[in-house]
Each structure stands twice: as C-alpha cells, then as structure tokens.
Structure 1
Amino acid sequence: MSHQQKKLNLSHPDNQDHNEIAVADPSNVESPPKIFNLTVDCFDEIFEYLNMEDLHSFGQTCKRMNKVAGEYFKQNHSSAENFCKYNAIHTTYSDKDGVVEMAIETSGFNKFVPCIKICGNDFDILRYIQSQATEFESTNQMFHVGFDINDKLVEHFEQLLPQLEILRYTCCRVDGDLYDLMLKYCKNLREIYVQNSTVGNRINGEIKWLLQEYPKLECLELSPSDSSRIEELRTFFVRNPNVQRFSTSVDFLWNNGDIFLNSNTKLDILELKDKESMQSSSYRKQTLDLLNRLHEQGFYKRLYIYIYEFNEELSNSLASVKGLEL
C-alpha cells in the first residue's frame, strides 16, 4: 500500500473505524481524536523515536492505534526474531546501532507477526499458539528448532498451516511422514528448509513427502542430519519443476551426485553449505569436478557456496568452478 493510500485511510476512516473509536471512548462519537488527523508519514516519524517496548505500548491505546502501530511494526521489524515463551509472543529487538536488546513482549501485535519461531516441545507454548491461532493473520512462516514433529504436537498449530508460505526446521526430529503430518495442509508453500534434521520415516519403504507435487514451491533446502542417498529426489524434481533454488550440504550432494547427474533438472541456483568437507584437498577436488559436470549438463546456472574456513588454497581451487557467483 502506498503512502498516499495510507493517508487516505487515516484521514477518511470508514464507519467501522468510527464505531471502534466510539466504543473505546464514547465522548468522541462525533469525531475521532485529533491525533488521527496525522498522516502515516507523521506517525512514521513519531515511531522512529520509539523503542520496541514503547511502540508496543503505543499500539495498545486503542484499536485504531493498534492498526497504525502494528503496520509500522510489520513493515519495519519483519526480519526481527519473533518467538513464543511464557504464553506470549516476544520479539528480539535491535536498536539503530545494531545492539541487540532483551526480548520484548509484543503479543498485542500478534496479527502483524510474519514469522513464529518455536523452540523445543513446550506444551504451554503450543497451547498458547493454538488458543490464539485466529490472531496470527499475517503469519506466513514457521521456524522450528529442536522440535519433535509428530501428530500430537502438530495439532496445536494445524490451523495456521494453510496460510504458511515458508517452513523451516533446524535440529528437528520427524516422527512420521512430513507430508501426512504437515505438508498436505500447506497449499501455499514457496520454501521448505530441512536443516540438520531427520527427513522423516519411510512409509512402505518411501519418503512420501518427496514424492508429492507442490505447485507454488520455488526453494528447497535439504541438508539432513543423515547425508545418505535419497532415491526419491529423482521423482521430486520431476514433479516440482518450479523449484529453482536447491540448497544442500557438500556431503549430501556428493552422496546423491549420480541422481542429479542423471536427472533433467534445470535449477537457477545451487547453494552449498559446508563445514569441513571442502578443507580436504582430495575430497574438494572430487566435489568441484562434480559441480563442473553438473553445470555442463545444465543442472544449475549459478552456484553459491558458504564456507566456514577460507584460505588461499581453497580460493585458488574455487576459481575453476563453473557458474560460481557467490
């Protein structure tokens, strides 16, 4: 929404907004408080001076101010970490100098929170999310860390799954098949991240979720805790040609290299995340040779590599890799 549209919305509230103000303050039935004569640009200037705690307090004064402050929160703090603890949503706040301050409770902005992070299997947290599910109108991402994904726990946030576009799992254990547990409800998924987590149980000998079609999926990260071979990837890329970005670990790429070489997959970006493997000169040469073969057959156009330790020898080796962009 443009600033001009926002100004019109604030300057000419509809009847519903008038009714909300009347309920909050009957003395102002005739006209809204004068502060609402300010444009969105003016409110933005005011909010620039407020820390997260004060912004949240500002937004709790009335329903209309909650909308104004909440939209500012959504637009300017969408990258902040929002997580649930003590039966409330908290936001980790950084000031203008980048100094991270303590987590601030921001439950009054629940309907403006784009991403919820859930750590561990705390049933109090899960029950809170379940009880407030209708409030999370803007939530399109969920991030699970150290979480046991099973049907008993998933039911607490099942109501949110249809609106999600991004799912991320880090250090999680999947007890069952991820499709049956969650993904079959997620009709709008654009990105899936499985990071140092199990891929789930085999059902009748198959990893079912990798055999499904996800019409809107554009990005997959598959860096499982077990880097063994997964034959289902042959079918996954055939059924999901819209996936243009694939992220994985060096070990997983190597163990599944022939699957990728024998596929007709055409990615825009291949992304590799490495901790130790590239430090071995012999293993590095084999990996770089595999990458060049994949590039020659068109498996990827652009290559991104993330490395924890970098030295001159590794730098010289990477110079020979085709398609390396980052």
Structure 2
Amino acid sequence: MRACRRKQAKQNECLASGSQSSKVNMAKRFKLQRAEEEEEHPPNTTHFLDMNDDCIDTICNLLELDDLCSMSRTCRRIQSVSGDYFQRHYPNNYVRIQSFRRRSVFYKYPNERYVDDLKPFIRNVIIQEYKGSVCADYLKRNFCENLRELTLHGINCELNAMHGIQIKDHLEHLENIKFVNCSIGDIYEIFLKHCQRIKHFGIDEPIQYNGKVTWAQHTFPTLESITYFDEANTNRVEFGPFLRRNAQIKYIACKGTNVQATVMQRAKNLDDLVLCYNTHKDFARNFKLLKHYSENSDTKRIKLEFTKRLEELDHFAEITSIQKLHGYRGFLFENLQCADLFASVEQLKVLQLPSFGHVSQIYIKRLASCLPNLEELHFTAQDMALSFKNLLTPFCQNRNLKKIVVYSTHIMYRCKKNDITELGKVRESIEGVNKLMIYMEKEVIDSMHFNTFDKNQVILKPLSELKREIHSFDL
C-alpha cells in the first residue's frame, strides 16, 4: 500500500507542475514508471559487453573471418578482443601492397575484408613497390606498433638512405625483415641499424652489386636466425667473419653452394641448418663436405630441400646417407627401393612431398613403416591417386606423428567425415599415442561438420592457424 501511495504521489507531483510543457511531463512520468518497474522486477538479461574477454573470445571462435571483421567494427573493446583473436588464429594473414598511386593504395588481395577492418592488428606487410615518404606515411597511419614482419621487393639500397629513417619508429619494433630481389649494398645503414629487436632477417636472390657489402661486417645482438638465398653468388658476402661476430645465431637457411660451404666450415654449433638446392648437381658439389659436417659438427638438425626432381635413385641414396637428417622436402621415386632407403634415416622427423605420383598402397605402407619417428607430414602434391583415408592411415599408425598438413586441394576435397572418424579409431587403438593435428582449408573442415573435442585423437585445424617456416619467403 505504501508503495502505491508513493507512486500516486509522484504522479500527482508531475501532473501538478504547470511550469513545464506536456511533453516533458510525459517523459518524466514514463521515466518514473520505468524506474519503479525495474525496482520491483529487476531484468534477468546480461548485456553483451558485460561478458568477460574469455566469453567474447569463445564467440569469436564460432565466426567466419568476414563475420569477425563485422564484429570488430562495433566498438573499441570488441575490436581489441577480435584483434587479439585474429593475431592468434590467423598468423599468416598479411597485407601485400602492390603500388602507391596518387595517395591510393593498391592491394594484391583487395577483396579481403580484414585488410580494412583489422588492419591495426596485422603484423605482416609485404611492399612490392617502395615509394619513400608515401609508404612511410601509410605504415605510420595504419600499423602503429603491431608490425612485426616486413618484406620489401626490388628496393635499391645504394642511392637513397632515407628509406629506413622514414619508417624508423616501425623498424624499432620489427622482429623479421626480408629483402627480395633488392640491391643490398648498404642495407645496414638504411634499415638494419634501426632494427633494435631484430630476430631474423632474410635475403632472397639479391641484385648484382659491384661495391662492398657492409651488412656482414656488423654485430646483431638479438639476431637468432638468418636466411640467405643467392644461388648465382651475385654478391661477395664475408659470411665467415659475420658468423664469428654473431655466434648466437642458431638457425641458418641458405641457397648457393659457395655460401653453404662457408656456413658448414664456420657454423659448427647450430640448432637447425636448412640447405636448399635446385638439382642434384648442386647438391653433389658439397656432398662430401656435408657428409663430414653431419658426422663431426655439433649441429643438431639438418634439413634438405629440392625444388626439382632427382634424376637417379643413387642420388636419393646419397641424401639418405646424411646423418642428423631431420627433414626432407622433395620428390620421391615411385618404387619400393626408394621407400626402403628411408630405413637408414630413422631419425627423420619432417617429410614434405611436393609430388607423389600414382603410388600404390603397398608403397605407402612400406614408406610409413620405414619412418617410425616421423612427427610431421606435409602434402602439397596435386597428382595423388589414392584416397584420403588410404593415403594417411599407414602414417597414422606411427606413434610419434603429431601433425599432417594438407595443402593439396586434390587430396583435401576428397576427404570425408567418415575418413576422419576412421583415422581417430586407428589412433585410439595405439597406446601412448600423441594427438594428431590435421591442417586443411577451413571451408573443407566446415563442410564435413566434424566436431572436435578434447578427447579426440584427431583434431582438425584450418591452415590459417599453421605458422609457416621461418625461412620461407612465400606467404
């Protein structure tokens, strides 16, 4: 009764007030009624922003990338949570800038919405055409301190020393910088001396430079790894003194027989050495040195990569004779003798197959049985005749296998939900087995409607969540 009397009294006060307009009186009366209703019956709903960041992050996990972009445009807090999720789950997404024209920016992939909506959270930028102050202003406006990796194409580092000064603030936070088809005569003074936190830098097929290359004369205290691909030996780089000054480097990837020979003579205590070749002829030039290096150095792991097919089976026998061979990327011969050669490299952990051909089920089983310690298996071939299930089941029986990466659309789109279920049953039948991650395109995973639980022995993940190799120049 008292509540009713108070309510009536307040309404009478509003009606009795003649100094205000009727619209104001109506608004006040509605406000009073609403407040009283909330006091008597408090709402049971929770506002979206009342949820903590973990809940919102879980919601982000259910969204496609386009939907995540839309969600990020609602408010600053949601953009921050969406951006953190984007950085964790889409580490390979990047901006590739092809050119700058009259203050307009032309992207390689203009249809990707994340380029605009999640731009502040993108960490990888590739610039095809560097335009000095225009490029510097663009980086300053859009990427702030989140930029961690920068790849530059075709820059002349002999003429204009202003390139690095113009983006000095970004270089101070950079962890990875790469130069592709650049004239690298003075990249230290122009770029590298501003990179105070640099962990990796790479050079891919530099342009001929007649002067002295200066970057190899300096010390980089934070540098952990380096990639140097100069197959034609266009520049004389003093790699030996460079490695002595930077003894903390533990990861080297190189291409070019001269550079590889210097590295094997000077760097005796690496964690990883990646040697890339086009043909077996290049490999044969340093084969004896590599064999001696693998037997006598303290380097832990060696990986060999070939871009062209080997001509003879004997060539492959030389490769499998290398001790400490941790990874192999290249073509295989389609006969059982080739599979049997892997029995001598039981320590092999990573196998990447760019082409496989029309191999039989017997061949696959023999190859899998010769690699009991295999941990990673990568398929990029488009010419495989076997089904997804028949191809992967023999490898899934290996206890130590942790990761299968399927880049091949030919294999990927032949995968069915039942195939994943059968692979899970194979893994469950093995005692003490590691959980197996299979990486494929997200649209293929979604089309199968396969539910992944923590108890599953096989977990599907999109390729966007797979971090690429540090020495790769392709994104």
Rounded to whole Å, the distance in 2 between the matches of 1:248 and 1:168 is 14
TM-score, normalization by structure 1: 0.73
Residue among 51, 58, 74 paired with 2:71: 58
Alignment of 1:161 onto 2:171: yes
* Alignment-derived partner of residue 80 in structure 2: 67
* Alignment-derived partner of residue 276 in structure 2: 273
* Alignment-derived partner of residue 173 in structure 1: 183
Structure 1 unaligned regions, length at least 5: 1-32, 93-100
Contact 1:56 1:106 survives alignment (8 Å):
no
* Alignment-derived partner of residue 48 in structure 2: 35
* Alignment-derived partner of residue 317 in structure 1: 318
AA in 2 matched with 1:295: S
Cα 1:264–1:112 change in 2 (3 A) is closer
3-state SS of paired residue (1:213): coil
Cα 1:185–1:284 change in 2 (3 A) is closer
Matches within 5 A, 1:1-326: 34-84=47-97, 87=104, 102-122=111-131, 126-132=135-141, 135-149=143-157, 150-174=160-184, 176-198=185-207, 202=211, 206-224=212-230, 226-227=232-233, 230=236, 232-253=238-259, 257=261, 259-260=262-263, 262-263=265-266, 265-276=268-279, 278=280, 280=281, 284-298=283-297, 300-311=299-310, 312-326=313-327
Rounded to whole Å, the distance in 2 between the matches of 1:234 and 1:128 is 38
The alpha-carbon deviation at position 234 of structure 1 amounts to 1.6
AA in 1 matched with 2:146: S
The alpha-carbon deviation at position 145 of structure 1 amounts to 2.8
Contact 1:271 1:303 survives alignment (8 Å):
yes
Contact 1:90 1:103 survives alignment (8 Å):
no
Rounded to whole Å, the distance in 2 between the matches of 1:147 and 1:57 is 36
Report sequence identity in percent.
18
The alpha-carbon deviation at position 214 of structure 1 amounts to 0.7
3-state SS of paired residue (2:127): strand
TM-score, normalization by structure 2: 0.52
The alpha-carbon deviation at position 309 of structure 1 amounts to 2.8
Rounded to whole Å, the distance in 1 between the matches of 2:206 and 2:149 is 18
The alpha-carbon deviation at position 165 of structure 1 amounts to 0.8
**Structure whose CA Rg is larger:** 2
3-state SS of paired residue (1:270): strand
The alpha-carbon deviation at position 55 of structure 1 amounts to 1.8
The alpha-carbon deviation at position 242 of structure 1 amounts to 0.7
Contact 1:84 1:125 survives alignment (8 Å):
no
Deviates more, 1:154-163 or 1:120-129: 120-129
Contact 2:231 2:257 survives alignment (8 Å):
no
Deviates more, 1:121-130 or 1:59-68: 121-130
Rounded to whole Å, the distance in 1 between the matches of 2:106 and 2:72 is 15
Cα 1:188–1:131 change in 2 (3 A) is closer
Cα 1:264–1:154 change in 2 (3 A) is closer
Cα 1:272–1:261 change in 2 (3 A) is closer
Cα 1:181–1:251 change in 2 (3 A) is same
Rounded to whole Å, the distance in 2 between the matches of 1:90 and 1:261 is 40
3-state SS of paired residue (1:55): helix
Contact 1:56 1:108 survives alignment (8 Å):
yes
Contact 2:274 2:303 survives alignment (8 Å):
yes
- Structure 1 residues 224-263: Cα deviation after superposition (integer angstroms, max 9, x where no partner): 2641574521211111011011111143445xx2x44653
Contact 1:269 1:302 survives alignment (8 Å):
yes
Rounded to whole Å, the distance in 1 between the matches of 2:55 and 2:163 is 44
AA in 2 matched with 1:239: R
Number of residues of Structure 1 aligned to a counterpart in Structure 2: 274
3-state SS of paired residue (1:169): strand
Rounded to whole Å, the distance in 2 between the matches of 1:70 and 1:229 is 41
Rounded to whole Å, the distance in 2 between the matches of 1:188 and 1:294 is 31
3-state SS of paired residue (1:144): strand
Structure 2 unaligned regions, length at least 5: 1-45, 328-475
- Structure 1 residues 178-229: Cα deviation after superposition (integer angstroms, max 9, x where no partner): 1101111111111111111248664xxx422111111111111111264157
Contact 1:126 1:153 survives alignment (8 Å):
no
Rounded to whole Å, the distance in 1 between the matches of 2:269 and 2:207 is 26
3-state SS of paired residue (2:172): helix
